[in-house]
């Protein structure tokens, strides 16, 4: 007979403990341990049915499924791989259900698909579909259920379902587990059953996941390891656009993004996201620099704004929105030590226009240019873009995919670029449509390119 034991599982990280405690030893969270009963079954002595094969051989591969929503297909790596499992997370009300309803309706025009909601009734899903103006025809099947066993039996009766959306995994439950839906044991067990069904039946399963107040996916961390692709749907409520970001993808790039705009008819694709993040100025403004960045395989131009103001506090403020505050302090230290500029008696504010978050080190040069322009109150020459990593010695290092950055900037009407030259490349790289290309080795050279700015005496640079 199976022996029943009791253990306490953290609802944040999934770590289990033999006895209850106020603090989880795995993640340090307080009052997150929940009692769960586990049945231990005796191991059987059956012979193994595992069959080993060589790594070299022929395997039947099916083409990716194209949903005709290009931004979604881009993030997935060029389409959805049959038999894969996707996990989509995001803040409440950000548009996860809206996006997936549009995706499943678009794919259902060609292949049978199913949308299963554990949070809404069928009538509510139909009402939302009418508002969005989506139609899946006879190939789109709707259901409202929370029992995983019933869902799998219903899918068997339907036949060749090629894509299933589960909205959401926190509402699913398995009757054999006594804990409530949304707990670690239920989420892990339900995900395991659905993943097994996806691999066995070669169908795509898309799971919607809730997020915590810290912005991470709720439930056990092992859930992200179990699935093939993890997508985050993010955006600010004050802006109309949404960003679908890939943070894990076994079949594509892990830093790809797709940009959508929220309208009264649902989410519409944004083929040229650079236009969203660039502001048109009627006149030259100091403290503004354009950064030519990369998000996966897509070049995106964003505006970086800086403001330097006198301070009346003992400790000057250093505020960054959309960028790492620690890296801002590093750039300020390099500007003071290597370029002779003084920011110690100034408040510094840095903002990435449009609410975009930048993590790429290539933005260092654009941030430095915006800070210098704001400090000296001198506008940067119009139609200029910047990209390059700044080192502690004041050197400007080259970054990858410079050609793609320059092509995107030239396509949007920019005529000059400031960047670094790769060490392994001889000569000057192609301008890629630019009228002038300023190749920099040290950050202090940036002062020479700004108009009406005398060269500041800087400290010697020793290597």
pLDDT of residue 223: 86
Co-location of 151 and 95 in the same domain: yes
| Residue 59 placed within a domain | no
| Residue 226 placed within a domain | yes
Co-location of 397 and 318 in the same domain: yes
In angstroms, the first-to-last Cα distance of the chain is: 72
Domain containing residue 317: 288-449
Co-location of 240 and 375 in the same domain: no
**CATH label of the domain that carries residue 339:** 3.30.230.10
Co-location of 294 and 247 in the same domain: no
Residue where one domain finishes, among candidates 215, 239, 271: 271
pLDDT of residue 430: 57
List of the chain residues with pLDDT < 70: 1-4, 37-46, 48, 60, 136, 214-215, 218-220, 237, 280-283, 422-432, 451-463
pLDDT of residue 426: 45
- Tell me if residue 197 falls in helix, strand or coil: helix
Angle value at C-alpha 46, between 40 and 50, nearest 5 degrees: 100
The string of pLDDT tens digits covering residues 173-195 is: 998 888 888 888 888 899 999 99
Co-location of 259 and 315 in the same domain: no
| Residue 280 placed within a domain | no
Co-location of 126 and 202 in the same domain: yes
- The answer to whether residues 230 and 247 touch, using CB atoms and an 8 Å cutoff, is yes
- The answer to whether residues 388 and 396 touch, using CB atoms and an 8 Å cutoff, is yes
Co-location of 328 and 219 in the same domain: no
Co-location of 371 and 242 in the same domain: no
| Residue 264 placed within a domain | yes
Residue whose C-alpha is closest to residue 101's, from 91, 113, 93: 113
| Residue 54 placed within a domain | no
Co-location of 105 and 26 in the same domain: no
| Residue 156 placed within a domain | yes
Strands 384-386 and 346-352: unpaired
pLDDT of residue 411: 87
Residue where one domain finishes, among candidates 243, 271, 299: 271
Count of structural domains within the chain: 3
The span from the CA of 272 to the CA of 259, in Å, is: 9
**Which three-class secondary structure string do you get for 334-350?**
HHHHHHCCCCCCEEEEE
Which residues fall within 8 angstroms of residue 249, CB to CB, at 6 or more apart? 75, 76, 77, 228, 229, 230, 256
Co-location of 190 and 317 in the same domain: no
The span from the CA of 154 to the CA of 148, in Å, is: 10
**Which three-class secondary structure string do you get for 298-337?**
EEEEEEEEEEEEECCCCCCCEEEECCCHHHHHHHHHHHHH
DSSP label at 169?
G
| Dihedral sign computed on CA atoms, order 14, 19, 21, 25 | negative
| Residue 455 placed within a domain | no
**CATH label of the domain that carries residue 173:** 3.40.50.300
Co-location of 250 and 378 in the same domain: no
pLDDT of residue 27: 81
Co-location of 217 and 133 in the same domain: yes
pTM of the model: 0.77
């Amino acid at each position: 007979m199976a022996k029943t034991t009791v253990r306490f599982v953290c609802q944040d990280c999934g770590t289990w403990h033999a006895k209850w405690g106020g603090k989880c030893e795995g993640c340090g969270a307080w009052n997150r341990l929940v009692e769960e009963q586990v049945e231990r079954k005796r191991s059987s002595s059956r012979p193994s049915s595992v069959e080993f094969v060589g790594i070299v051989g022929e395997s039947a591969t099916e083409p990716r499924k194209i949903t005709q929503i290009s931004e979604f297909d881009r993030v997935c790596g060029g389409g959805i791989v049959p038999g894969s499992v996707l996990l989509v997370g995001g803040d409440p009300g950000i548009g996860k259900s809206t996006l997936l309803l549009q995706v499943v309706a678009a794919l259902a025009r060609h292949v049978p698909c199913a949308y299963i909601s554990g949070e809404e009734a069928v009538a509510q899903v139909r009402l939302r579909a009418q508002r969005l103006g989506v139609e899946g025809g006879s190939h789109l099947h709707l259901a409202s259920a929370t029992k995983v066993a019933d869902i799998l039996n219903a899918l068997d009766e339907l036949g060749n379902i090629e894509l299933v959306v589960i909205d959401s995994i926190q509402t699913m439950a398995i009757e054999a587990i006594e804990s409530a839906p949304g707990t670690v044991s239920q989420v892990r067990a339900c995900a395991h059953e659905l993943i097994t069904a996806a691999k066995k039946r070669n169908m795509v399963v898309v799971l919607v996941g809730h997020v915590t107040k810290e912005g991470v996916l709720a439930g056990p961390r092992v859930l992200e390891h179990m699935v093939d692709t993890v997508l985050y749907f993010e955006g600010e409520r004050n802006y109309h656009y949404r960003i679908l970001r890939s943070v894990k993808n076994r079949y594509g790039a892990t830093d790809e993004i797709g940009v959508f705009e929220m309208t009264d008819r649902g989410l519409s694709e944004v083929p040229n996201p650079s236009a969203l993040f660039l502001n048109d100025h009627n006149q030259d403004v100091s403290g503004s620099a354009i950064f030519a960045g990369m998000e996966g395989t897509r070049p995106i131009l964003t505006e970086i704004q800086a403001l330097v103001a006198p301070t009346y506090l003992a400790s000057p403020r250093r505020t960054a929105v959309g960028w790492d505050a620690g890296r801002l302090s590093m750039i300020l230290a390099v500007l003071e030590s290597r370029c002779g500029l003084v920011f110690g008696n100034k408040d510094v504010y840095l903002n990435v226009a449009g609410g975009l978050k930048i993590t790429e080190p290539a933005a260092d040069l654009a941030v430095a240019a915006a800070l210098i322009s704001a400090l000296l109150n001198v506008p940067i020459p119009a139609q200029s873009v910047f990209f390059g990593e700044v080192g502690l010695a004041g050197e400007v290092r080259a970054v990858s995919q410079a050609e793609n950055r320059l092509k995107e900037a030239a396509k949007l009407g920019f005529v000059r670029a400031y960047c670094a030259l790769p060490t392994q490349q001889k000569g000057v790289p192609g301008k890629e449509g630019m009228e002038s290309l300023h190749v920099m080795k040290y950050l202090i050279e940036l002062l020479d390119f700004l108009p009406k700015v005398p060269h500041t005496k800087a400290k010697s640079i020793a290597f």
